[in-house]
Each structure stands twice: as structure tokens, then as C-alpha cells.
Amino acid sequence: MITEEIRRVAELMEPGGAIVVLTGAGISAESGVPTFRGPGGLWRQFRAEDLATPEAFARDPKLVWEWYDWRRGLIAKVEPNPGHRTLARWEARFPEFVLVTQNIDGLHARAGSKRIIELHGNIWKTRCPEEGLVADNAEVPLKAIPPACPSCGAMLRPHIVWFGEPLDPADINQAWAASSRCRLMFIVGTSAVVHPAASLPALAGRAGAQIIEINPEPTPLSPYANFSFRGKAGEILPLLDETLSKISTG
Ligand code: BV8
């Protein structure tokens, strides 16, 4: 059944209108990737300070790499879900569509999205701290922990933005620019507590965009959303897509 609110949002999705979608761990939850802060979330089991900071890596790189190797093993076994696939379709459908993700799991790309701003990096990439070279790495499990740079032998690090590290200026600048000129911003599956990602909807809202949140739980951004869908991304996004198709075929 198509709710009135779904129809209203679908009607706002005009073919030429700029759309930004900000995703978080919740969109991958239905694929089986653990979130960070909810029940069963990674930060309920592990301390971010021990595993996701530059200080933790300097102290114990083997421990940090083992944790990422374990997560790579989990992610390698799962598939993108209908939420990821809907966003890939929207990229093809809307010329001014920008996908900004905090996720590092690579599932948006596997679903077919091509223009993705990965604000926090990608678990399938390594970076050489000496030469700055970013390389793809799909080994599961990793052959050596910690892995070494094939070119200079230095210890590689995950190509991930840890707490206290700046985001890649090119990524955050693109995300800021897209957010400040979009007409619609969807916030999907994020607890909206990690900055600067969580500041993007405010930027869009101030510039006059309609804010649409999709999350089974309320977040600090919920009071500012024009539409809040309390449901799963893998159900609400396909429902919106279906409604969009019905509207456009009359
Ligand atoms: C920086 C990578 C500056 C590791 C991650 C302003 C105010 C306060 C603090 C700060 C601020 N600005 C900066 C900070 C500090 C800090 C920060 O934000 N701290 C917070 C926590 C207080 N930010 C930083 O440190 C950032 N860097 O600001 O640098 C700087 C400048 C110059 C020089 C030096 C430094 C860097 C942030 C990067 C953090 N990296 N981790 C890894 O993943 O291995 S953050 C971690 O949280 C994840 O990566 C994830 O991307 C991110 C966000 O989490 P969510 O995706 O939202 O996931 P969460 O579990 O929280 O929520 C899931 C949601 O899904 C829930 O709401 C749930 O209800 C919902 N859900 C569940 N199922 C579904 C669903 N929704 C839909 N469908 C479902 N089926």
C-alpha cells in the first residue's frame, strides 16, 4: 500500500531536480553488516579508541589490522540489498544525483552505484603512509598482517578515516557543494552523530532543501526533517521507487 507521504516525496523527485542521499551503516544492516551504535553494534563490543584512531594504530597496528581483517571477512560474505540497488537506479535516473556515504563496506559500488563520495574511506583499499599510494586489496583473509607496501616495504594502513583525522578535502568539499545546492536530501540509516557528515543535512536545509529521513529510530536530525519514514531502508526506498515509476507512467 502506498502511503500519502511516500507519494508526496515521490512527487517532489522531479527529473531535473538535484538530489543528495547521505547513507550510514543502517542501509547495510539488512545485508548483514553490523551497525556501530545500535543493538549488536560494533561500538557496543569494541572501543573506538582502541581500534579506530591513529593513536590506536600507532600503538598496536596488528590488533587494528586483525579487526579490519575480521570485518572484511564478514562483508565479503554479504550482498547489496534492495536499498543499495534502488540508489544505484536513481543515479541512472536523475542526472543531478549525488550519493554521499559514511560506509566503508563498498556495497553501494557492488550494487551498481558509480558516483559515490565515500567520506570515511573504503575497507577494500590500503594506503601507504610513506608514499600516499592508495591501492585496491580484496584479499580475505589478508595474507600478511600487517600488510606491507609492495613498492617501498612500509607498513600499509587501512584507507579509512579514523576519529580525529581530517576527511579528504576533495570528498568533503564535493559533499558540501552538493548539499548546499540540492532540492532534496535523503538521510538513510545513520544515527547522525559523527561530524562533519552529520552537518550536511543542516547545510541542505538552510539552503532550502526538503529533508527526508529513513530510519526505524529517531535521530538528532529527526526534528529538522520534513518527512520521517520510520522503517527499513530496504523497504522504504524500493517503495518510493515503485511509486515514482507509477507517477511517471501516469
Ligand atoms: C574530524 C571509521 C577534524 C572506522 C568512523 C562536531 C561535534 C562533535 C564532535 C565532532 C565534531 N566535528 C568533529 C568531531 C569529532 C568526531 C566526531 O564526530 N565525533 C562524534 C562521535 C562525537 N569526528 C571526527 O573525528 C572526524 N574527523 O572531524 O577531523 C580534523 C581536522 C583537521 C585536522 C585533524 C582533524 C572523523 C570521523 C570519521 C569517523 N570514522 N569510523 C571504521 O568504520 O572502521 S565513524 C563510524 O560512524 C562509522 O564509520 C560510520 O561511518 C559513522 C557513522 O555511523 P552510522 O553510519 O550513522 O552508524 P550507526 O551505527 O551510528 O547508526 C546506524 C543507524 O542505522 C541507526 O540510526 C539505526 O537506527 C539505523 N538503522 C538500523 N537498521 C536500519 C537502519 N536504518 C535504515 N534501515 C535499516 N534497516
Helix (H), strand (E) at residue 102: none
Question: Is 159 tagged catalytic?
Answer: no
| Whole-angstrom distance, CA of residue 163 vs CA of residue 20 | 24
Cis ω before 196 (30° cut-off from 0): yes
Residues 18-30: pLDDT tens digits? 999 999 999 999 9
Residue 185 has pLDDT above 80, yes or no: yes
Residues 95-104: pLDDT tens digits? 999 999 999 9
Report the topology of domain 34-77+122-160: SIR2/SIRT2 'Small Domain' (3.30.1600)
Mutate which of 47, 81, 163 for ligand 1? The one with the most ligand atoms within 8 Å of its CB, which is 163
The answer to whether the beta carbons of residues 131 and 153 sit under 8 Å apart is no
* Residue with the three cell numbers 616495504: 153
Q: Is 46 in the pocket of ligand 1 (CB under 6 A)?
A: no
Domain at 4-32+80-120+167-249: CATH code: 3.40.50.1220
Question: What is the grid cell recorded at 56?
Answer: 590506536
Domain boundaries, the chain: 4-32+80-120+167-249, 34-77+122-160
List the residue whose alpha carbon is closest to atom 31 of ligand 1.
166
Task: Residue 34: count other Cβ atoms within 10 Å of its Cβ.
Answer: 18
Mean pLDDT is lowest, of 12-16, 210-214, 229-233, for 12-16
Residues 49-105: pLDDT tens digits? 999 999 999 999 999 999 999 999 999 999 999 999 999 999 999 999 999 999 999
Alpha-carbon separation of residue 72 from 106, 142, 143, 147 (angstroms): 10, 9, 13, 14
Crossing angle (nearest 10°) for helices 4-12 and 233-248: 70
The two domains 4-32+80-120+167-249 and 34-77+122-160 share their CATH topology (first three levels equal): no
Q: Which of 75, 52, 83, 37 is nearest to 188 (CA)?
A: 83
Q: Is 228 in the pocket of ligand 1 (CB under 6 A)?
A: no
The Cβ-side half-sphere exposure at 164, using a 13 Å CA radius, reads 9
Residue 143 has pLDDT above 60, yes or no: yes
- What confidence tier does 38 reach under pLDDT thresholds 50, 70, 90? confident
Please report the pLDDT score of residue 199 as a whole number: 98
